[in-house]
Structure 1
Amino acid sequence: MKNRYNSEESVTTLIDLSLELEGLVRNVGTHAGGVLIAPSKISDFCPIYKGPNESDGVVSQFDMKDVEAMGLVKFDFLGLSNLTVIDKTVKLIFAKGLSDELIDLDALSLDDKGVYELLQRCDTTGIFQLESDGMRGYLKKLQADSFEDIVAMLALYRPGPLGAGMVDDYINVKHGTQKVKYPHPMLEEILKPTNGVFLYQEQVMKSAQVMAGYSLGGADLLRRAMGKKIAAEMDAQRDVFVKGAAEREIDVKKANEIFDLIDKFSGYGFNKSHSVAYAYISYQTAWLKAHYPAAFMASVLSGMMDDTDRIAFTVKEVQAMGLTVDGPSVNESYHEFSIRDEKIITYGLGAIKGVGEALVEVLVAEREANGDYQDLFDFCSRIERRSLNKRAVEALIYSGALDGFGVNRASLIRTYPSAMKQAEQRQNDQSSGQSGLFANEQVHNEYEVHYLPASSFSFRETLQFEKSVMGYYFYNHPTDEYNADLKHISATLPSALVFRNNKEARVLALISELRYRSTRSGAQMALINVEDSTTLLNAVVFSKVLGSVSEALVADTVVVLSGKINKDYRDEWQLVVDKVEGVDAVKEKYARSFEISLNHKHQTLFEPLSALLKQNPGQCPVKFRYQVNNAQGSVITRDYFVKPDQQLIDAVDALLGDHVSQINYV
Structure 2
Amino acid sequence: PVDINAIPLDDKPSIELLLRAETTAVFQLESRGMKDLIRRLKPDCFEDMIALVALFRPGPLQSGMVDNFIDRKHGREELSYPDAQWQHDSLQPILEPTYGIILYQEQVMQIAQVLAGYTLGGADMLRRAMGKKKPEEMAKQRSTFEEGAVKNGVDGELAMKIFDLVEKFAGYGFNKSHSAAYALVSYQTLWMKTHYPAEFMAAVMSADMDNTDKIVTLVDECENMKLTLLPPDVNAGEYKFTVNLQGEIVYGIGAIKGVGEAPVEAILEARSEGGPFKDLFDFCARVDLKRLNKRVVEKLIYAGALDQLGPDKTQPGRATLLASLKDAMRAADQHHKAESLGQADLFGLLATEPDEVEQAFIKATDLTDNEWLDGEKETLGLYLTGHPINQYRKELKHYTSGRLVDLQPTNRDVQSTAAGLVISARTLINKKGNRWGLVTLYDKSARIDVRLFPEQFEMYQDLLQVNNILVISGQVSFDNFSGGITMTARDICTIAQAREKRIKAIKMTLNMVQIEANFFDNLQKVLEPYKFGTCPIKVFYQRPDALAEITLGTEWCVTPSDDLLHKLSLMAAQDVELEFN
> Map of 1:215-226 to 2, 5 A cutoff?
215-226=119-130
Alpha carbons of 1:598 and 1:574: their partners in 2 closer, same or farther (altered >3 Å)? same
Match of 2:497 in 1: 585
Q: Show the counterpart of 2:267.
A: 363
CA distance in 1, matches of 2:59, 2:99: 17
Q: Does 1:133 align with 2:32?
A: yes
1:239-638 equivalences in 2 (<5 Å): 239-341=143-245, 343-407=247-311, 408-430=317-339, 432-436=340-344, 449=357, 450-499=360-409, 504-568=415-479, 570-572=481-483, 573-600=485-512, 601-602=514-515, 604=517, 605-610=519-524, 612-613=526-527, 615-629=530-544, 631-632=546-547, 634=549
CA distance in 1, matches of 2:38, 2:547: 61
CA distance in 1 between partners of 2:167 and 2:367 (Å):
68
**Matched-pair contact (CA < 8 Å) for 1:514–1:526:** yes
Moved more, 510-519 or 275-284: 510-519
The amino acid of 1:622's aligned partner reads I
- In the TM superposition, residue 360 of structure 1 has moved relative to its aligned partner by 1.4
Task: Structure 2 unaligned segments of length 5 or more: list them.
Answer: 312-316
Cα distance change, pair 598–424 in 1 and its aligned pair in 2 (3 A): closer
**Per-residue CA distance 1:42-69 (angstroms, 9 max, x = gap):** xxxxxxxxxxxxxxxxxxxxxxxxxxxx
Q: Give 1:168 deviation, angstroms.
A: 2.4
Q: How far did residue 228 of structure 1 move?
A: 5.0
Displacement of 1:238 after TM fit? 2.8
Q: Which residue of 2 aligns with 1:154?
A: 53
Q: What whole-Å deviation, never above 9, does each CA across 1:379-410 have from its counterpart, x for those lacking one?
A: 11211122111221111000000000134111
- The number of aligned residues is 563
Letter in 2 for 1:323: L
**Is the contact between residue 553 and residue 580 of structure 1 (CA under 8 Å) also seen in structure 2?**
no
Per-residue deviation, 1:135: 1.3
Alpha carbons 1:477, 1:533 under 8 Å: kept: yes
* RMSD over equivalenced CA pairs, Å: 2.8
Deviation string, structure 1 residues 326-382 (Cα, Å, up to 9, x no partner): 000000000111011363111001110011122212211321232001111111121
Which residue number in structure 2 is paired with residue 200 of structure 1?
A: 104
Q: What is the rounded CA distance, in whole Å, between the counterparts of 2:329 and 2:99 in structure 1? A: 69
Q: Is the 8 A contact 1:397 1:409 kept in 2?
A: yes
Q: Deviations over 1:308-337 (max 9, x none)?
A: 222112112111211100000000000111
Give me the whole-angstrom Cα distance separating, in 1, the residues matched to 2:78 and 2:228.
46
For the 8 Å contact 2:94–2:111, the answer to whether it is kept is yes
Provide the C-alpha distance between the structure 1 equivalents of 2:283 and 2:419, rounded to a whole number of angstroms.
41
Q: Deviations over 1:439-459 (max 9, x none)?
A: 9x99858xx841222111111
Shift of 1:637: 6.2
Percent identity of equivalent pairs: 39
Residue 36 of structure 1 aligns with which residue? none
Distance 1:644 1:395, change over 3 A: same
2:490 partner SS: strand
Q: Per-residue deviation at 1:189?
A: 2.2
Q: Which residue of 1 aligns with 2:44?
A: 145
Aligned-pair CA distance for 1:251:
4.6
Q: Is the CA contact 2:263–2:291 (under 8 Å) kept in the aligned structure 1?
A: yes
TM-score if structure 1 supplies the norm length? 0.79
Match for 1:659 among 543, 549, 574? 574
Q: Report matched runs for 1:180-191 at 5 Å.
A: 180-182=79-81, 183=83, 184-186=87-89, 187-191=91-95
Query: Amino acid of the residue matched to residue 649 of structure 1?
Result: L
CA deviation after TM superposition for structure 1 residue 297, in Å = 0.9
Could you list the per-position Cα deviations for residues 585-633 of structure 1 after superposition, in whole angstroms to 9, with x for gaps in the alignment? 1011112322121333325322443565464333333333232247325
- Taking structure 1 as reference, are residues 206 and 443 closer, same or farther at Cα in structure 2, changes over 3 Å only? farther
- SS where residue 323 of structure 1 aligns? coil
Provide Cα deviations, 1:160-189, integer angstroms capped at 9, x if missing partner: 111122222222222222222323123222
Question: Which residue of 2 is the match for residue 644 of structure 1?
Answer: 560
Q: 1:250 & 1:544 partners in 2: Cα distance?
A: 64
TM-score scaled to structure 2, two decimals?
0.90
Secondary structure of 1:111 counterpart: coil
1:264-313 per-position Cα deviation (integer Å, ceiling 9, x unaligned)? 32322212121111111111111111111111111111111011222112
State how far apart, in whole Å, the 1-side matches of 2:381 and 2:16 are: 33
Q: Any idea what the Cα deviations from partners look like across 1:496-531, whole Å, max 9, x if unmatched?
A: 444568763211111122222232322211222221
> Cα 1:289–1:337, aligned 2, differ >3 Å: closer, same or farther?
same
Specify the SS of the correspondent of 1:579.
strand
Question: 1:545 corresponds to which letter in structure 2?
Answer: Q
* Aligned 8 A contact 2:318 2:366 in 1: yes
Measure, in 2, the Cα distance between the counterparts of 1:188 and 1:271. 19
Helix, strand or coil: the match of 1:479?
helix
1:252 Cα deviation after fit:
4.5
Conserved 8 A contact 1:151-1:279: yes
In 1: Cα distance, 2:467 partner to 2:262 partner: 33
Amino acid at match of 1:215: T
Identify unmatched segments of 5+ residues in structure 1.
Answer: 1-101
Equivalent-residue separation in structure 1 for 2:132 and 2:326 (angstroms):
67
